[in-house]
Amino acid sequence: MIENIMSKKSPKHYSAITEKACKKLSNTIKGNARPIKKVYISDALPAVGKTEKFIKSASKNDHIVYALPTLKSLNEIRERLEKEKFNVLEVTSRDHFGVASVIGDLLKNREYIDPVVMLISHAGLRTIEPKHLKDWTLVIDEIPDISNISNSIIEENSYTLTLSSHILVDEDTGKVTVRNESKKTVRAAAKARMRVGSILPDTWVALDDDSVDVYIKYQIKLKNYQFNCVGYYDYVTAVDYAKETHILGHAVSRTLFYLHLEASGYTFEESKFQPEPRPYNLTPVLVPIYSGDRISKAMLTTNTKQQVTYVWSDEVDGHEALVRVMEHNGENPILIQTHKWCGYKWPDHAENIGFDARGLNGYQDFNRTINLIHGNSSGIEDRLYTLMLERMGIDEQVGKDAICYSRFFEMIIQHICRTSLRKFEGQAERTVHYLPNEHTAKEIEKLLKIKCEIDTSIMRSPPLSDFQAGLEKKKNLAWGMLADGRAKKDIADFLDVDPSTLRRWLKAA
């Protein structure tokens, strides 16, 4: 709840801000570059009434920029605002060409515009010139994703013939700098979204973007180049200029957006748009699909021969698990949340409403969901997140925990809360939710803030691939050797593993 966010932070919480960021913040304050400002938080579970409280409490005499995550979510709030006689203006890509300039022109001419609620998307907000938000109230509905990392492969031929002459590459770090004489060429290629061989349009865009660091690594065995981009979407500058900023969301303090605002010197207070607490009505049933806490693409695509295929088929463990789920569910209508690579053939009574369900309504007649997703980062993504968090001045582990929360638990909560849970006192039937594993079920119970029934009747053990089975044997052997009094260094040498890997095994057990 909001009390937890507003309470005095512990020293451990403050460790989320790195020493480098603290020094930068201190210098900013001393130099009076900008005053320390507050951000107002409205934090509540989905459907509790954040938007409704905004509509009831917002002044019709104010100039408000209201940013939402998707165009779908924009439709509903526009109708609700118009019903309450607000002057509403929607500025999105479906109605306007060159959205950033249209929004900018409107913001600059505030004095000539009647009080209005201007509806834009999160993407639209980050494209406008922040200084134009001066004297506007900014409301950000749902937490924006601020990560901006990507990686692609450039074939050796394309790199040598097209790209290499325009860039300089640091021999130690692989960091890329555009040559001075090539900046106009790169900018033109980015604007034209040019594609040359395996060089994608986004390659040129990244090279032309000062907010993105680009790294190139030659892969000797594959004879190609790995092109990595590291940046983040900086909403802080928009918050800097706005008259005041309100954030409407769920578990706001667990997000990277919150950590970035905090690292940038912001403090937090409860928003006037904070709704009254309202618990869900009937006890949900949470059905873990697997025991333990593991879930991954590799696990779900392990076949009956203990081989990881990374391709969905009727032979993989994930398919067998979903067969059991659908048998347990019967003919009941059910909402689906899976990754695109999940190739299960769903029956007619199952409806896939997409991965990101934030802001979606119209599914309150459903009482059941399947949420078979994972929030894991690939090895490359993990390394890029490390670089991104360093740029943001956020502790690496705290930042990665926030990323994992947003990619996994928040996605599941938002999907679950599209169901009849939203009816509160009008809910007539308990909801049932099939979740990846036991650990997820326990965490979702905490997030829902209601005692849940955890039904383990169809729960199965996660499959072990040949590699994982060998790994488990090594871990068990390590524990046995430690119990026999062997030194950790000797154990690591005997098992041919890095000492840090051994420490991680022993810590996790």
* 377-421 pLDDT tens trace: 888 999 999 999 999 999 999 999 999 999 999 999 999 999 999
Q: How far is it, in rounded angstroms, from Cα 306 to Cα 272?
A: 55
Instruction: Map tokens 């006037």 to a residue.
Output: 272
What integer pLDDT is reported at residue 98 of this predicted model? 74
pLDDT at 253 over 70: yes
Task: Give mean pLDDT, residues 22-46.
Answer: 67
Predicted pLDDT at 509: 56
Q: Is residue 205 within 8 Å of residue 139, measured between CB atoms?
A: no
Model confidence at 24: pLDDT above 70: no
Distance of CA 120 to the CA centre of its chain: 20
The pLDDT assigned to 23 comes to: 54
Does position 468 have pLDDT exceeding 90, yes or no?
A: no
Could you give the CA distance from residue 501 to residue 509 in angstroms, rounded to a whole number?
13
395 near 447, Cβ under 8 Å? no
For the CA atoms of the chain, what is the radius of gyration? Answer: 25
Q: Secondary structure of the chain: what % helix, strand, coil (to 5)? A: 45, 20, 35
Question: Smallest Cα–Cα separation from 214: which of 198, 196, 202?
Answer: 202
The confidence score (pLDDT) of residue 487 equals 86
- Confidence check: pLDDT of 3 > 80: no
Question: What are the tens digits of pLDDT across the range 295-305?
Answer: 999 899 999 98
Place of tokens 């100039």: 63
Using the predicted structure, report yes or no on whether residue 16 has a pLDDT greater than 70. no
Nearest to 236 by CA among 11, 13, 390, 36: 36
Identical fold for domains 2-145+234-270 and 285-454, yes or no, is yes
Q: Residue 409 is encoded by which pair of tokens?
A: 């638990």
pLDDT band for position 60 (50/70/90)? very high
Lowest mean pLDDT among 7-16, 86-95, 116-125, 235-244: 7-16
What is the predicted pLDDT for the residue at 339? 96
3-state secondary structure 63-81: EEEEEECCHHHHHHHHHHH
Contact assessment for residue 410 and residue 373, using Cβ atoms and an 8 Å cutoff: no
pLDDT above 80 for 33: no
Mean pLDDT of the chain: 89
pTM of the model: 0.84
Please report which confidence band the pLDDT of residue 466 belongs to, taking 50, 70 and 90 as the band edges: low
**Between the CA of residue 319 and those of 18, 117, 315, 350, 440, what are the distances in Å?**
44, 47, 7, 15, 20
Residue matched to tokens 């834009």:
120
Residue 185 has pLDDT above 90, yes or no: yes
3-state secondary structure of 462: coil
| Confidence at 7, pLDDT banded by 50, 70, 90 | very low
User: Looking at residues 304-322, what average pLDDT do you find?
Assistant: 94
Quick: pLDDT tens for 319-348.
Answer: 999 999 999 999 999 999 999 999 999 999
Distance CA 14, CA 6 (A): 14
Closest CA to 204 of 178, 175, 173: 178
What average pLDDT score do residues 433-437 get? Answer: 99
Q: Which fold has domain 2-145+234-270?
A: Rossmann fold (3.40.50)
Residue 202 binned pLDDT confidence (cut-offs 50, 70, 90): very high
Higher pLDDT: 18 or 159? It is 159
Dihedral of CA 163/167/171/172: which sign? negative
The CATH number given to 285-454 is: 3.40.50
Report pLDDT digits (tens) over 71-112: 888 888 999 999 999 999 998 877 666 788 888 899 998 888
Mean predicted confidence (pLDDT) in 124-145: 94
- Rounded Cα distance between 81 and 54, Å, is 10
Tokens 């905490």 locate to: 446
pLDDT of residue 21: 57
Per-residue confidence band for 142, with pLDDT thresholds at 50, 70 and 90:
very high
| The two structure tokens encoding residue 466 | 């040949």
Residue ranges of domains in the chain: 2-145+234-270, 148-232, 285-454, 466-508
